[in-house]
A and B are shown apart, each in its own frame.
Chain A
Amino acid sequence: MSESLPSDPGFLAITGAEKRFGASAVLGGVDLAVARGEFVSLLGPSGCGKTTLLRIVAGLVSPDRGRVALDGRDITRTPPHRRDIGVVFQNYALFPHLTVAENVAFGLKAKGHPRAGIGGTVSRFLDLVQMAPFADRRAQALSGGQQQRVAVARALAVRPKLLLLDEPFSALDRKLREAMQIDLKRLLRELGITALFVTHDQDEALTMSDRIAVMNHGAIEQLADPVTLYRRPASAFALGFVGLSTRIPGLVREAGDGMLRVETPLGTVRAPGRFLPGSPVLLGVRPERIRVGGDGPNTIEAALVEVAFQGARAHLFFAGPDGNRTVLAEAPEIPAGAVPGARLRLSWAIEDTLVFPAEPALREAA
């Protein structure tokens, strides 16, 4: 949680946010600081508390403990309509009784903008999201992608200090989603909008974010930029949730000089790290770090189970230490002799081996 602190850490500052619903703790003391103009994602599985955290920032849920400050002002007890925070909801929540233009004008009217200027602002923001031709349509006559654009225009038209996005792409099909992600990111950068983005989709988070907060069980497990998060996940959970990886349980045999020898069901593996001999650990290797064929500092032999050709690359699945746990390698081409059942040699560098303390819960989940 200490990586790359931004220069202006306090534009949005959440400190010690806690929330329980009935008997279950949804958030357990979360701290998060977002800099002005930054795009931060809250990434985690459903039920990890990310949406609750977003709703606390919006003022739609009040935290049991902790504070929220925006632009130097404590807004913990400020009602949502006085917060200057825009929200794009998962289902867009467009007003069905209003037209597209009236939806975008809603916030401007509510905030008492002079009537004369509202029409111009509405068409400018509809232009920005390429929805100007639909200004007079009813909101519910639009497709999902169009509704999403209108929801973004509606939230941005009032010039909020902060934009919150609650899984705004989850209802769109994949191709449209990817196009909209790029459009939205460009738009937010052009307008200099600070954004907090909730998603369970790691690709989305990696594509769009300046920094990603990986959340699990109501806490932030790691807050880092996408590259660091992918290359140096701080926990076994972060490793498993972001990107693909081979995960092998093992037992530390020898340790010294920051170097480990770990005994695994696939053989002895060398890895950088500091653990006591005898510690149970979980080893992780990213698929693109594994070389099929050839020798390396870490070499194992495994039976190929399946080849998944994906155009630009191929994924090769190998039988893992037990039946269900598989080893995954990525190759630019399908290697010669890669037929299911073939035993192939796999190798990778010592520094590409990630080591985490073994978590019993995670072992079951993996």
Chain B
Amino acid sequence: MSVPATVSAAPVPARWPRLRLDPVALLALPAFAYLAAAYGWPLLVLLGHSLSGPDGISLAPFAQFLSDPFSWRVIGNTLRSALLVTLVCLLAGYPAAIALARARGAVQALLLLSVILPLSVGVVVKAYAWQIVLRRDGVVSQALVGLGIWDAPQRLLFTEAGLVIGAANVFLPFMILPIYAVIRLIDPRLSEAAATLGASPVRRFLTVTLPLTLPGIVSGIAFVFSLAVSMYVVPSLVIGDRYQTLATLTGRAFLFMRDERLGSATAVILLALAVAVVVGSTALARRLGGGGRS
């Protein structure tokens, strides 16, 4: 009772900043441990390979790879196809996400199912299916000729357009779902309020809906881009060997050329590109999404 409050209540001030671990962070431990073993460690090995020259550490594999004009075409192919796939997914996925979020009851369940269910079909199966669909005598070609858009049947298979169409099909759900998740949280009254304040439908979309869905758009872009930049199966089956991307080249280097240093170098470049886009877009999302939602 007569103990001075300062002695009993105040904790001893820390002399040096101590590492404080939030107990909640422990919940991430299993996943963290798994990823460290299954992804982190191999990644370090890969990095080591890419930096190993005949006599110790060397940037030679990178220099060698980047000095070849062919390599730059491969990087160009990788970025261009990934950007096109992301763009197609965004343009097709955004309206779909809005429809999904605004739908009610059974319609919504059906729409959601039609987005998620295709994920259960293996990518190899999808890619083979696209091979058939995109042939000169395939459904797409026949339909376009039938509609009078094309004069004669053409082959979409083994073209970049065919690759983008096929890949967008595989990755579309990864664009729709994050945008849908964000739209669902937006109060529909905000758009109504904008309407009563005199904003036309286009203005409501540009000044209310679009800014509020930006965080979802950015995470959708991050998902689809990082998947598309590293896709291997779809290009292998839909466009073939003449069109190389960093991912297919990495595969060839390891599987056929047995050139571990080349494969490691391309893999590291690919990883750096993907990380740059994902980190950049999440940083952007954090800045734009600062307003959050009600």
CB-based contact B196/A110 at 8 Å: no
The 3 A-B residue pairs with the shortest CB-CB distance, nearest first, are A107-B197, A97-B291, A93-B189
Interface residues in A91-123 (C-beta closer than 8 Å to B): 91, 93-98, 106-107, 110-111
Residues of A within 8 A of B203 (CB): 110
Does A87 belong to the interface (CB within 8 Å)? Answer: yes
- Nearest CB in chain B to that of A82: its residue: B198
B198 touches A107 (CB 8 A): yes
Write out the residue numbers on chain B whose beta carbons fall within 8 Å of the beta carbon of A155. Answer: 196-197
Interface string of B98-111 (1 = CB under 8 A from A): 00000000000000
Q: How far is the CA of A232 from the CA of B199 in the complex (A)?
A: 44
Q: B207 and A106: CB pair below 8 A?
A: yes
- Mostly helix, strand, loop or mixed at chain B's interface? helix
Q: Mark B190-223, 1 if CB is under 8 A from A, else 0.
A: 1011111111110110011001100000000000
- Cα-based distance from A85 to B212 in the complex (angstroms): 25
Residues of A within 8 A of B146 (CB): none
Chain A residues within 8 Å of B, Cβ to Cβ: 58-60, 79-83, 85-87, 89, 91, 93-98, 106-107, 110-111, 138, 140, 154-155, 158, 164
B197→A154 contact, CB < 8 A: yes
Say if the beta carbon of B286 comes within 8 Å of chain A.
no
With A86-B197, A110-B197, A158-B197 already in contact, the answer to whether A91 and B192 are too (CB < 8 A) is no
Chain A residues near B199: list those with CB within 8 A: 81, 106-107, 110
Chain B min CB distance to A61 (Å) = 10
Complex Cα spacing A86 to B197, Å: 7
Q: Does B293 contact A (CB under 8 A)?
A: yes
Closest chain A residue, CB of each to CB of B289: A97
In whole angstroms, how far apart are the Cα atoms of A98 and B208 in the complex?
10
With both chains docked as a complex, state the minimum distance between the C-beta of B58 and any C-beta of chain A, in angstroms: 50
**Chain B residue nearest in CB terms to A98:** B291
In the bound complex, CA of A138 to CA of B207 (Å):
16
B8 interface hit (Cβ, 8 Å): no
Bound Cα distance from A107 to B294, whole angstroms: 20
Q: Is B292 an interface residue (CB 8 A)?
A: yes
**Closest-CB distance, B286 to chain A (whole angstroms):** 14
